[in-house]
């Protein structure tokens, strides 16, 4: 029990601090990131989340409020697919739009892309932060033998190996999310400087990142990628999810490095 609790708590701390890896890798190649814009990115995510959640709740009530079983083939399944896609799309739309509003106040076009990068850092840092805090809390409670809730009781019955495999995609999710959010911020800057097509591209990339793995987990009867409960996800689902986040992280970081090389060549000389 103590070992399981320690693994959960350690996984929670890794979840919270793992965005430091992509931030460190990117900061070595990019100009100094403005700290105030990182804070603005946190506010951008919080401000964009409120209308997104409100519209999602409203649509769910409109689309499903009067639905009765049997009116559609597998209505609950169809609703899950539709609502997860709508939710990802709305959140990406509001976050990207809010990023452009903040970046639109910049006086220099040359600062749009690094400032968009900083905003993306802020969005990726605060998103899903409470998941890590809940893991830390659950780990310490389990270490002291607390199984008073159904979740803790289920974790107590879960094997140590299963807990480790379940933690892996959660820990990998955070650096992948931050790198994709940074990519989203850079695209928002390019939308202001070059063309609005980058605005829609930012929305598309973020939506696909969130929804693709969610749809896969729904197919296999799993949970939302942002709501994975350790010990409640099958091992194959956890393994594929971990590989997905590794792939997303690698592709996003590669794109960001290529972008930074074009607009900040002097940063490549840093050691």
Q: Per residue of the chain (271 residues), what is the pLDDT tens digit?
A: 777 778 878 877 888 888 888 888 887 777 667 888 888 888 988 888 888 888 888 877 776 664 444 443 444 556 667 778 888 899 999 999 999 999 888 766 668 888 899 999 988 888 777 777 888 888 888 788 877 777 777 777 777 777 787 788 888 888 999 999 999 999 999 999 888 999 999 999 999 998 888 777 777 665 443 444 454 557 777 788 889 999 999 999 999 998 888 875 544 444 3
- Does a structural domain hold residue 21? no
The set of residues, in sequence order, having a beta carbon less than 8 Å from that of 125 and lying 6+ positions away, is: 19, 38, 41, 42, 178
- Does a structural domain hold residue 124? yes
Which candidate, 45, 44, 48, 86, places its Cα nearest to that of 64? Answer: 86
**Could you give the number of structural domains in the chain?**
1
Q: In the structure encoding, which two tokens stand for residue 61, read together?
A: 């009530």
- Does a structural domain hold residue 2? no
In whole angstroms, give the CA distance from residue 129 to residue 121: 13
Identify the pLDDT of residue 170: 84
Identify the pLDDT of residue 191: 92
Full residue range of the structural domain in which residue 68 is found: 35-128+160-263
If you compute the radius of gyration of the chain from its CA atoms, what whole number of angstroms results? 20
Question: What SS3 state is found at 237?
Answer: helix
- Does a structural domain hold residue 207? yes
- Does a structural domain hold residue 44? yes
| 119 and 139 Cβ atoms separated by less than 8 Å | no
Q: How far is CA 224 from CA 47, 100, 212, in A?
A: 22, 28, 10
Identify the pLDDT of residue 80: 67
Q: In the structure encoding, which two tokens stand for residue 70, read together?
A: 């049997």
- Does a structural domain hold residue 122? yes
Identify the pLDDT of residue 109: 67
Count of CB atoms situated within 10 Å of the CB of 50: 10
Identify the pLDDT of residue 198: 94
Identify the pLDDT of residue 51: 87
- Does a structural domain hold residue 15? no
- Does a structural domain hold residue 6? no
Query: Mutual orientation of helices 160-193 and 20-27 as an angle, nearest 10°?
Result: 40
Identify the pLDDT of residue 145: 80
| 126 and 47 Cβ atoms separated by less than 8 Å | no
pTM score over 0.95? no
Residue whose token pair is 């994975």:
228
């Amino acid at each position: 029990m103590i070992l399981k609790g320690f693994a959960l708590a350690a996984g929670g701390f890794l979840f919270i601090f793992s965005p430091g890896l992509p931030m460190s890798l990117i900061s070595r190649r990019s100009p100094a990131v403005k700290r105030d814009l990182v804070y603005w990115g946190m506010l951008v995510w919080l401000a964009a989340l409120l209308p997104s959640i409100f519209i999602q709740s409203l649509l769910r009530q409109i689309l499903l409020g009067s639905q009765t079983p049997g009116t559609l083939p597998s209505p609950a399944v169809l609703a899950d697919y539709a609502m997860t896609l709508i939710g990802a799309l709305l959140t990406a739309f509001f976050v990207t739009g809010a990023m452009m509003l903040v970046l639109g106040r910049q006086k220099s076009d040359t600062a749009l892309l690094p400032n968009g990068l900083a905003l993306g850092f802020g969005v990726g840092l605060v998103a899903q932060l409470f998941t890590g805090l809940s893991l830390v809390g659950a780990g310490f409670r389990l270490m002291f033998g607390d199984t008073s809730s159904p979740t803790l009781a289920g974790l107590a019955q879960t094997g140590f190996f299963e807990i480790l495999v379940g933690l892996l995609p959660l820990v990998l999710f955070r650096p992948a999310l931050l790198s994709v959010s940074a990519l989203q911020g850079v695209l928002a800057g390019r939308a202001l400087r070059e063309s609005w097509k980058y605005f829609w591209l930012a929305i598309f990339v973020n939506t696909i990142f969130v929804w693709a793995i969610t749809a896969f987990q729904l197919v296999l009867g799993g949970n939302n990628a942002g709501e994975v409960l350790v010990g409640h996800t099958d091992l194959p689902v956890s393994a594929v999810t971990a590989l997905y986040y590794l792939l997303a992280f690698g592709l996003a970081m590669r794109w960001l490095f290529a972008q930074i090389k074009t607009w900040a060549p002097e940063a490549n000389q840093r050691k």
